[in-house]
Amino acid sequence: MVEHARKALIAGNWKMNLDHLQAIALVQKLAWTLKDRNFQSTTVEVAVFPPFTDLRSVQTLIAADKLDIGLGAQDLSRHDSGAHTGEVSGAFLSALACDYVLVGHSERRADHGETDEVCLAKVQAALRHKLTPVLCVGETAEDLEKVGAAAVPVSQLTTVLEGISADDEIVVAYEPVWAIGSGTPATAEQAEEVCSTLRDTIRNVHGDEAAERTRILYGGSVKSSNIAGLMRGANVDGALVGGASLDAEEFAAIAQFEKHVTVD
Ligand code: PGA
């Protein structure tokens, strides 16, 4: 077992799934399952990222039952308030006790044309409101073929790092676009190689302390059957889990990667 330098983060990105009633049911089941299995949160942190409309319900449940589950949103506005119809301010997420917010998920980059500059503005907005941004970076299959795995994620990360300071707390999620929802994850070696290069990028821009402190997650077809291998990489500090986070048993098993728990 690799000793991890940083506390692992297992983050569930629900995407546009589950209304607020279904959200409550899933979080309750997740909490029971983790408890049943004697899950210890000392080395692994678990967080869920439900749709906006579920956040209040999930926050209330986490607070009422004192659950050791972090909460994040899937996006935020780069603005703080005002005439931006349909947007959600980081201030509102902060008021709902969100810990995290995803920024620049590949689905938002593709569906909403979010550029690296937009992602930087959103990361800055998150930091202004004391949220930890989880910046998603990753190459498409075409990028992979043309320029290799690391070039695009490194450039996406560099644009953001250059606009924030070394003390700012962010989480980076390396998500190869070709691995998302495809059932074909990157190999553990591929994930480690790019995560290690991303850590070097942080070191180059913000120095050793930031590089050692910052958590870098892998995302893309993570399951209970492949998480232990992925987590063996010294530079992989956790996972951003999509589809598999919608199943409480499976997500709990992923959080227990140290025990090699798998669900068939
Ligand atoms: P997946 O999604 O686990 O369903 O591949 C990961 C993500 O998009 O964050």
- How do residues 80-94 score in pLDDT, each as one tens digit? 999 999 999 999 999
**Rounded Cα–Cα distance for residues 31 and 103 (Å):** 26
Mean local confidence (pLDDT), 252-257 = 96
Q: Which of 240, 246, 251, 254 to mutate to test the pocket of ligand 1 (most atoms within 8 A of CB)?
A: 240
Provide the pLDDT confidence category of residue 3 given band limits of 50, 70 and 90: low
| Averaged pLDDT, 38-45 | 90
Given 114, 139, 175, 192, the catalytic residue: 175
**Residue with CA nearest ligand 1 atom 6:** 242
What separation in Å is there between the alpha carbon of 245 and the centre of ligand 1?
A: 9
Q: Is the pLDDT of residue 197 over 60?
A: yes
Q: In angstroms, what is the span from residue 250 Cα to ligand 1's centroid?
A: 14
The dihedral built from the CA positions of residue 105, 110, 112 and 113, taken in this order, carries a sign that is positive
Q: Which atom of ligand 1 is nearest to the CA of 102?
A: 9
* Distance, CA of 60 to CA of 40 (rounded, Å): 22
**DSSP H helices in the chain:** 20-36, 55-64, 90-95, 106-112, 116-128, 141-147, 151-161, 188-206, 208-213, 227-230, 248-255
The tens digit of pLDDT for each residue in 204-218 reads 999 999 999 999 999
Question: What is the pLDDT averaged over residues 27-51?
Answer: 95
Give 143's contacts (C-beta < 8 A, 6+ positions apart): 151, 152, 177
Q: What is the pLDDT of residue 1?
A: 46
Structure tokens at 193: 């190689």
List, for residues 102-157, the tens digit of each pLDDT value.
999 999 999 999 999 999 999 999 999 999 999 999 999 999 999 999 999 999 99
pLDDT score of 204 = 98
42 vs 154: which has the higher pLDDT: 154
Report the separation in Å between the CA atom of 219 and the middle of ligand 1, taken as the mean of its atom positions. 6
Residue 95 Cα, ligand 1 centroid: separation in angstroms? Answer: 27
Instruction: Tell which atom from ligand 1 comes closest to the C-alpha of 222.
Output: 3
Residue 173 confidence (pLDDT) above 80? yes
Residue 2 banded pLDDT, cuts 50, 70, 90: low
pLDDT of residue 224: 97
pLDDT of 264 strictly over 90? no
Q: Which residues line ligand 1 (CB under 6 A)?
A: 13, 175, 180-181, 219-222, 240-244
Contact 182, 220 (CB under 8 A): yes
Lowest mean pLDDT among 32-46, 194-208, 250-264: 250-264
The per-residue pLDDT for 21 is 98
The rounded mean pLDDT for the chain is 96
Q: How far is it, in rounded angstroms, from Cα 73 to Cα 140? A: 24
Catalytic residue among 4, 45, 105, 114: 105
Query: Which residues, 6+ apart, have CB-to-CB distance to 110 below 8 Å?
Result: 177
Counting ligand 1 atoms within 8 A of each CB, the residue from 9, 103, 221, 254 with the most, and so the one to mutate, is 221
> Looking at residue 261, what is its pLDDT?
74
Mutation choice for ligand 1 from 9, 10, 13, CB with most ligand atoms inside 8 A:
13
CA of 180 to the centre of ligand 1 (A): 5
Catalytic residue check, 175: yes
- Confirm whether 20 is a catalytic residue: no
